[in-house]
Amino acid sequence: MSFLFRLSIASLAMLSITTSAQRLDTKLVPIAKGWSKNQINAVIFRHNSLISHGAAQFGAFYDENGKLVLVKRRLGTRKWLIHQTQYTGDVNDAHKSISIAVDGAGYLHVAWNHHNSQLQYCRSTRPGSLELSDQMPMTGDLENRVTYPEFYQLPGGDLIFMYRDGSSGNGNLVMNRYDVKTAKWFRVQSNMIDGESTRNAYWQAFVDQQGTIHLSWVWRETPDVISNHDVCYAKSIDKGKTWQKTTGEKYRLPITAASAEYVQHIPEKSDLINQTSMSADQLGRPYIVTYWRANGESVPQYRLIYHDGRSWKMSQITHRTQAFTLAGTGTRRIPLSRPQVVNYGSQVIVIFRDEERGSRVSAAVSRNLSRNSWDLRDLTETPV
């Protein structure tokens, strides 16, 4: 089974610009046929499947045979250069998505096929190329049980690579940094968030314009998603070496359930989803988007947790009527997607899919969070 792999030519930044003109315009550009028997080419926790560097844009996906495919185009054009690499992924496991990044020297970095398994990583043979090197280690340590690889680019061109070492309900956060000058990886944190062998953190991260790394997470007690609880936060202003709370208090690493800054207390069995999205505005204030069911209610709602410079606030985005329950292990089929959040000026934009809206790609836009005001609209006419 295959589908016509498509990509919105409007980036989230372009999308948010159109909202200021009271519109949300998208253009779908066909690329190639890709694997579609599950969500491996569309899971939210890919960081990233689409990136831009200079005047070029790069993408990655698995084709109908499970081959890792890289694509490239010049920004503003519709013609893609398509390259089927020498590598294959286990596409039957939707966790094993592809993550890519471009460093400051223009080299493409690729990590793929991870679910509590050996690190699979390589990079392009030259700047701007889609040709990949042989597989290689990063540091050679703690690379046998890798899940959820995430690349982030730092100002200056270095990269951060984060992943879970261990299994669901029993894993720790590992962080590496790539030095673009020496073209080498080194370990920054071997166990930044410690589940203490009883739980693990499911995180999302964001690097703002000043280079501050923002990190938020939920705790999970067991492999069952119903055991997700609470939302926590930390940030680093020195490229991951030290971490602190919003109050400026420094963490003693590793961060544990007892020492974490809790920005929203949410009990287990609240249908709290994990691995969503976060962002930060131009002042470096963090925004975290997720969904859960509030105490005494039966329907999960999308909600934004944000810091206004003084304290943490929460804004309910939707008023859904369809109830469902998160429970079980493995990949779940859920009537709504994990959300994405982006900031543009004074606007906050949350992107999501919901069966109540016909499973279209939808956006919620707020221009005044203090009023808890959200404008919801659909970006596609057909379900995704």
Range of lowest pLDDT (10-19, 151-160, 370-379)? 10-19
Q: Model pTM?
A: 0.90
Percent of the chain exceeding pLDDT 70 equals 91
Distance from C-alpha of 235 to C-alpha of 299, rounded to nearest angstrom: 32
Please give the pLDDT value at position 328. 64
Phi, psi of 13, deg, nearest 5: -65, -45
Nearest to 337 by CA among 9, 33, 46: 46
Per-residue pLDDT at 11? 34
Report residue 219's pLDDT band, with 50, 70 and 90 as the boundaries.
Answer: very high
Q: Looking at residues 346-371, what average pLDDT do you find?
A: 94
For residues 231-263, one letter each, b for 16 or more C-beta atoms within 10 angstroms of the residue's C-beta and e for the rest, the string is bbbbbbeebbeebebbeeeebebbbebebbbeb
Spatial distance between the Cα atoms of 174 and 181, rounded to a whole number of angstroms: 22
pLDDT(129) > 90? yes
C-beta atoms surrounding 23 within 10 Å: 10
What average pLDDT does the segment 300-324 reach? 96
Q: In what order do the strands lie in the sheet with 159-167?
A: 146-153, 159-167, 170-179, 184-189
**pLDDT tens figures, 256-267:** 999 999 999 999
Assign 200 a pLDDT band (cuts: 50, 70, 90).
Answer: confident
